[in-house]
Amino acid sequence: MTATAALPTTALAGLLLAMADDEFVIGFSDSEWTGIAPLLEEDVAMSSLAQDEIGHAAALYGLLAELTATDPDAIAYDREPGEYRHCRLLDHGRGDWAMTIARRYLYDTADSVRLDALVGGSWTPLAELVGKLVREERYHLMHAGTWLDRLARTDGEARDRLLAALADLGPDAATVFTPLPDEPALLDAGIIAADSAELERRWRAAIAPTFGRLDLPMPPAAREPERGRQDHGQEFRWLWGEFTMVRRSDPGAIW
Amino acid sequence: MSTDESAAAAPATPVLEAWEVFRREKDGDPMRHGGSVMAPDAELAIHYARELYGRRQESVRLWVVRRDDILDLDDPDLLQPPLDRSFKKPGGYVMRDKLAAAREQSGQAKPKARSK
């Protein structure tokens, strides 16, 4: 582990919180398909992906808890809805299957660009974890890409629903790359290899061939980009109520 | 809802097919039949095979085969012919019955298992 003297703890905590909240929220939201996915096999697949994301969130909350000497469960469950730092893309509920696929494709491609910029970073605990996450996310990308492809190429209801989902999500898609608080400190310390603006350029370059081939509209620039990880709306408040319900039913209980 | 209406409202339902999944548990093991998945095409069949037979790190390799592509043979005349075919087995004739008959003829008892 590198010397902690030079570690920009606050900036690093902000990065970990943003990543963990992203994984936690999409994982929990996608888990709502358990039991009602389009077919049994897909039900297993989507539930397994959702579980993976919750696992990634747990690992990231764990690092954050060690860094800040707090409790990972408390970070995950004991905040008010306004204190979560996931991107606004994930404030959109799971919607229909096309919405879930579009959200997952946009998020997974963006997350993949972000992870690639963290591989080999100077803070060993995160760099090591990211090395593992990247391997699991490969399958997530395959799954989302397969479904995006088939919805886009099936004229009629499938393509119409996908286009509607992309129109709805588009203006929030790039919020994954909302600049983090004190981002320059992360760059200076070598924890992340590029700033948010550069990561967004890489992401757009990465998805452009697919969007071109499938004749889909590229996501526009994010609206209110500086507030992309704040102002969570009513849909997230509902989800928050769901995922904190058991914890709030008996505060402090040991499970 | 009439069938005409539902046909107009929904795109053609993809036909699900059965795919057989074979898995290798660890390097050096043979491929063994694991089970099957239902999927509309090869691409999703691979995904679902991975989810159902590989996501817990229980496999190092999977083979996924469309069930209809399997050549099936279960003709008892070919596989279970009625005559004694034991002479075709690696161990040769089954000797047990012949030995018993020879012992009976000579009045010898069946030798006991060696005590040491």
**CATH code of the domain covering residue A57:** 1.20.1260.10
Cβ-based contacts of B44 with chain A (< 8 Å): 41-42, 146
CB A108 within 8 A of CB A173: no
| Cα B84 from Cα B100, distance rounded (Å) | 18
Same domain, B85 and B59: no
Distance from CA of B5 to the nearest CA of A (A): 14
> Considering only CA atoms, which of A151, A178, A146 is closest in space to residue A164?
A151
Q: Which of A40, A142, A157 sits opposite B11 (nearest CB)?
A: A157
- Over 80: is that where the pLDDT of B113 sits? no
CA dihedral A205, A210, A215, A220 (to 10 degrees): -40
Over residues A14-40, mean pLDDT: 96
Taking the CA of residue A3 and the nearest CA in chain B, the distance in Å comes to 36
A53 contacts A23 by C-beta, under 8 angstroms? yes
Answer yes or no: do B13 and B54 share one domain.
yes
Name the band, by pLDDT with cuts 50, 70 and 90, for residue B4.
Answer: very low
- In this structure, is residue B112 part of a structural domain? no
DSSP state of A143: H
CA distances A131 to A52, A70, A193, Å, are: 15, 24, 15
**pLDDT averaged over chain A?**
94
Q: What average pLDDT does the segment A170-193 reach?
A: 96
Across the A:B interface, residue pairs with CB atoms under 8 Å apart total: 33
Which value does ipTM take for this structure?
0.70
The boundaries of the domain holding residue B91 are 81-106
Per-residue pLDDT at B84: 74
Closest partner residue to A41 among B10, B37, B43, by Cβ?
B37
The answer to whether A45 contacts chain B (CB < 8 Å) is yes
Q: Is A140 on the interface with B (CB under 8 A)?
A: no
| Number of domains, chain B | 2
pLDDT (0 to 100) of residue A59? 97
CB contact B8 to A (< 8 Å): no
- Provide the 3-class DSSP secondary structure of residue A163: helix
Give per-residue pLDDT as tens, B38-93. 999 999 999 999 999 998 889 999 999 999 999 999 988 888 877 777 777 777 66
- Evaluate whether residue A100 is within a structural domain: yes
B21 in reach of chain A (CB within 8 A): no
Interface test with A, best of B17, B44, B56, B57 (most A CBs within 10 A): B44
CB of A44 within 8 Å of a chain B CB? The answer is: yes
> What's the Cα-to-Cα distance from B92 to each of B81, B82, B83, B95, B96, rounded to whole Å?
17, 18, 15, 9, 12
**A48/B55 touch (CB, cutoff 8 Å), yes or no:** yes
- CATH number for the domain including B8? 3.10.20.520
Closest by Cα among A91, A87, A99, A92 to A20: A87
Domain span including residue A48: 9-249
Band the pLDDT of B5: cuts 50, 70, 90: very low
pLDDT by residue (tens digit) across B8-42? Answer: 445 556 689 999 999 999 999 999 999 999 999 99
